């Protein structure tokens, strides 16, 4: 049985139509961790005011939960406010599948370890690397984002050491920068710092790569 953090053990008033998803007496729905979350524990309550992560879109805050008539049927929807004023509306069922809590302290440690790893750069052609990188961006797993950031930084350093100092292609640079932005946003929230400080933290870990 799931209990909310800080609450005494209790039982939900009823179970929703989703597997192992209880609805509590105050109306909150607590979504258990799923395989999509990787190894990140936590519970997305989908309560107005909750800070969550929406895969490739980044960190956001739930600003509304309401019922609407969609295609002739009542559906509960979740309204998520993202950075730079973007608002996303998700059916409750999709929100339960796609939203996760920000990474916890242990998860942040895994991100830190990944950024510091030397890693092995893929020798795949660009089209295959792009496909793999895009999949990691779409998944939104913070450790996989850290892998993209680490590998991108290594490629930048490797190119800078060559004669003529070539640069990443615009496409590869764009994916690398997007991964870094998403990771920075989450670290900012988790560590309670400004975005510039979060990015500096990432840079510090990259500088300690073994």
Q: With a cut of 90, say whether residue 176 has pLDDT above it.
A: yes
pLDDT of residue 28: 47
Q: Provide the phi-psi class of 93: left if phi over 0, else alpha when psi is between -120 and 50, else beta.
A: alpha
Q: With a cut of 60, say whether residue 59 has pLDDT above it.
A: yes
CATH of the domain at 49: 2.40.10.170
Question: Quick one: tokens of 7?
Answer: 């609450």
List of residues 6+ apart from 103 with CB closer than 8 A: 40, 53, 111, 142, 186, 190
Among 58, 80, 98, the domain boundary falls at 98
- How does 96-124 read in b/e, with b if 16+ C-beta sit within 10 Å? bebbbbbbeeebbebbbebbbeeeeeeee
Among 48, 64, 98, the domain boundary falls at 98
The closest of 7, 73, 32, 56 to 186, measured between CA atoms, is: 56
Could you give the angle at the alpha carbon of 33 between the alpha carbons of 3 and 26, nearest 5°? 35
Domain span including residue 175: 105-207
Residues 55 and 85 in one domain: yes
In a domain, 71, yes or no: yes
Average pLDDT, the chain: 81
d(C-alpha 82, C-alpha 117), whole Å: 31
Residue range 182-196: average pLDDT? 95
Confidence of residue 93 (pLDDT cuts 50, 70, 90): confident
Size of the chain, expressed as the number of residues it contains? 210
Total domain count, the chain: 2
Confidence of residue 118 (pLDDT cuts 50, 70, 90): confident
CATH of the domain at 130: 1.20.58.1290
Among 54, 75, 98, the domain boundary falls at 98
Residues 191 and 144 in one domain: yes
Q: With a cut of 60, say whether residue 7 has pLDDT above it.
A: no
Question: Quick one: tokens of 26?
Answer: 């105050």
In a domain, 3, yes or no: no
């Amino acid at each position: 049985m799931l209990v909310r953090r800080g609450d005494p053990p209790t039982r939900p008033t009823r179970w929703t139509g989703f597997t192992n998803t209880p609805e509590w007496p105050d109306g909150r729905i607590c979504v258990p961790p799923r395989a999509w979350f990787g190894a990140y524990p936590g519970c997305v309550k989908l309560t107005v005011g909750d800070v969550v992560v929406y895969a490739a879109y980044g960190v956001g805050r739930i600003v509304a939960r309401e019922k609407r008539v969609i295609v002739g049927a009542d559906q509960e929807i979740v309204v998520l406010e993202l950075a730079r004023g973007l608002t996303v509306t998700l059916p409750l069922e999709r929100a339960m599948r796609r939203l996760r809590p920000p990474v916890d302290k242990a998860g942040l440690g895994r991100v830190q370890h990944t950024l510091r790893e030397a890693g092995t750069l893929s020798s795949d052609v660009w089209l295959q690397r792009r496909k793999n990188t895009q999949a990691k961006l779409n998944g939104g797993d913070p450790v996989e984002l850290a892998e993209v950031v680490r590998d991108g930084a290594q490629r930048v350093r490797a190119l800078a050491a060559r004669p003529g100092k070539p640069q990443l292609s615009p496409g590869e640079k764009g994916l690398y920068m997007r991964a870094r932005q998403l990771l920075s946003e989450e670290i900012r929230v988790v560590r309670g710092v400004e975005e510039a400080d979060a990015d500096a933290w990432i840079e510090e870990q990259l500088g300690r790569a073994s």
